[in-house]
Amino acid sequence: MTQERIVFVHGGGSFGAAAWPRQHGLSLDHDCLFLRRYGFDADAEPLPTDHAEDERIITEALGGGGHLVAHSQGAVSAMLTAVERPDLIRSLTLVEPACLSLTADLPATAAHIDLVAPLFARQDTLTDEEFLQRFVRLTLSSEAEPPTTSEARRNARRLRLQAPPWTAPLHIVPGIPTLVLTGGWEPLYEEVAEYLAGTGAQHRITAGGHRPHDTAEGDAVVRGFIRGTPSGTSLPE
């Protein structure tokens, strides 16, 4: 009997297994793959967002089928994959999903887009450091630390190269058991979660800010949802 597969898709910060510190233990009982999205590399120069490449990476990782767990910007690529290959996805867990194209006309999302869109419109005219400082000032109300290490400089460039999440052509995929986990701290993500709940998803709120899956409670919610998905105990030989 083959272990059930779980594919993890990171957000905009850390990637691979480092993005899922609480979920490592799932590898004891499941076939877990912690992905690295397109343009994310510890040494190579970052590349612009390419959702088609992300979809390819996710689809290949799912193989014959499995559970899909995604965080923040990674939820955009996860949902795009679900639209194209719903047959491969046993369940879909979206943590603080940045699926803003679904809620672009709703108040919190519309306000965020109005605030940040002018900055993204200037992506090609700003340095990596300038974009980082202005993005942090707009979204977190504080000054960003200047990137002094090679890793910090790559992270700043990667941020500047990301596509605005509200531009992705997302659609609801009926029939896939879906959990949305949020941290209850930011109306933007709660608005997305409530929209998805209105289409049939489960919505749970735990502590943890933008990374609720890093808490014991959030991790338990993710594990419980996967464990409770119908016919979700093992993949056939």
* Angle subtended by helix axes 128-140 and 107-120, to nearest 10: 160
What secondary structure, in 3-state letters, does 103-119 show? Answer: HCCCHHHHHHHHHHHHH
Q: Are residues 25 and 80 in the same domain?
A: yes
Are residues 89 and 33 located together in one domain of the fold? yes
Q: Where residue 150 falls among pLDDT bands split at 50, 70, 90?
A: confident
148 and 194 housed in the same domain: no
Ramachandran angles phi, psi of 2, nearest 5°: -85, 140
- For the stretch 173-223, pLDDT in tens is 789 999 999 999 999 999 999 999 999 999 999 999 999 999 999 999 999
- For residues 25 and 135, state if they share a domain: no
The total of structural domains in the chain comes to 2
pLDDT classification of 234: cutoffs 50, 70, 90: very low
pLDDT digits (tens, 9 = 90+) for 92-107: 999 999 999 999 999 9
> 158: which residues sit within 8 A by CB, 6+ positions away?
12, 39, 40, 46
The mean predicted confidence, pLDDT, of the chain is 92
Backbone φ and ψ for 75, nearest 5 degrees, come out as -65, -25
Q: Domain of residue 185: give its range.
A: 5-100+169-228
Q: Which of 161, 179, 201 is the last residue of a domain?
A: 161
* 129 touches 156 (CB < 8 A): yes
Last residue of a domain, one of 142, 161, 180: 161
Determine, yes or no, domain membership for 233.
no
Same-domain check for residues 50 and 146: no
Q: Are 147 and 30 in the same domain? A: no
- Report residue 80 as tokens: 């795009």
Domain match, 76 and 173 both: yes
According to the model, what pLDDT value does residue 148 have?
80
At residue 170's C-alpha, the angle toward residues 53 and 31, to 5°, is: 55
> Are residue 71 and residue 38 in the same domain, yes or no?
yes
Report if residue 235 sits inside a domain.
Answer: no
Q: How far apart, in whole angstroms, are the C-alpha atoms of residue 141 and residue 146?
A: 16
Domain with 87 in it: what CATH number?
3.40.50.1820
Same structural domain, 80 and 175: yes
